[in-house]
Amino acid sequence: VKFGDEFVDLTHLNFSVEAHAGLWSHRLPMITDELESAKMYNAGGRALLARDFSGNTVTLELEGDVWGGNRPELSLGGGVGYARKFGFVHLEAGLKYLYDKVKMQDRASHYLLPRAKVLFDLDKVSFVPYIEIRSEVKHNTLEALYEANPYIWFDSNRLAIARLSNSLDYNLSLGFNGTVFSSRLAYHVYAGASFMRDHLFWCATDPGLYSVTTGNNTRIFVGVGAEATPIAGLKLDLDFLYNFDNASAMYLLSEPNMRGNISAEYTLRKWKFYVGGELLGARSFSVIREGVLSQYDMPLAFDLGAGFSYRINRHIELYADGKNLLNSKIYDFVDYYRPGAGFMLGIKMDF
């Protein structure tokens, strides 16, 4: 539930108040003797105030959350933000304090979370450089853990999950973006570093099951993104990110060293055609089988897809999609890989 202002006209005080609650439960279907489902309930709220004072925008926020079930936790925090334009320099900055207590841990955690972004508006749409600092606490709730890896063996990891620390990331990035060629090409180039404390690491144990722990990682990254419309009806997209990781943990990092997406879409009256692909870099998983710790390597993979659609009228559209057209064996986790080449025909109806 949320009510308040839209934060569009800040010449007067804007506010918003939000409250939320939820219940989550999950049981692994392949474990017939699982003692019970993993359960979590959550309730919390957030309040935000903002006002502009002669070009100086000030924000205040308060937040609180409580989690119950198999991993009880309490989180309370607040922060202040500031934004102003100094000539061609746009500044946004803030500082947040967060108190967090996981019930099964001996001591509470206290976080100071700075953020800042400096954007240099040089009156050149083709080139806009920036520098950004971000920090974030990622709550390793049951829901977040199973979203990251749906194959965690809950009974075996019950105590470890209850004691698991939350993840803390500090990120520094710099880059530039812009539009060129009469706005037919928009691009974004960036690089930076991430300092990750209590990052999640996975290990494949029994076939189809996983355990989890935390460790530290320092990541250097470079990336590029582009969107082009060279001719009417044709849209090209590209995103690519490469990571250099230096991890320190009991298990291997098991995340791709690169990720990328490329696609082309052409619209001709009622017809639409597309082709695209997802690139996953090489990665390695820790595996424990019969008490022996080993390494499972996954090579670079590319998932190619294509399809088309035809709109009969503004309510009905026919489509055909093809996935993994190279019929590659693409693993998301050890013991779990995506289906081979497949096709789907369907109809979309909008009312």
71-115: pLDDT as tens digits: 999 999 999 999 999 988 999 999 999 999 999 999 999 999 999
Instruction: Report the pLDDT value the prediction gives residue 188, as an integer from 0 to 100.
Output: 97
Q: Please, what's the b/e burial string for 335-349 (b: 16 or more CB within 10 A of its CB; e: otherwise)? A: beeeeeeeeeeeeee
Split at pLDDT 50, 70, 90, the class of 266 is: very high
Tell me the Ramachandran region of residue 8: left when phi exceeds 0, alpha when psi lies from -120 to 50, beta otherwise: alpha
Quick one: average pLDDT of 113-133? 91
Instruction: Report the pLDDT value the prediction gives residue 59, as an integer from 0 to 100.
Output: 97
Dihedral pair phi/psi, residue 273, rounded to 5°:
-125, 140
The answer to whether the CB of 157 falls within 8 A of the CB of 205 is no
pTM: 0.87
**What is the percent of the chain with per-residue pLDDT over 90, rounded to a whole number?**
78
Paired residues of 81 in beta bridges: 59, 94
Residue 31, pLDDT > 60, answer: no
Count of Cβ atoms closer than 10 Å to residue 145 Cβ: 23
Instruction: Express each pLDDT in 38-49 by its tens digit.
Output: 889 999 999 999
Paired residues of 211 in beta bridges: 203
Least confident of 84-93, 147-156, 215-224: 147-156
Tell me the Ramachandran region of residue 179: left when phi exceeds 0, alpha when psi lies from -120 to 50, beta otherwise: beta
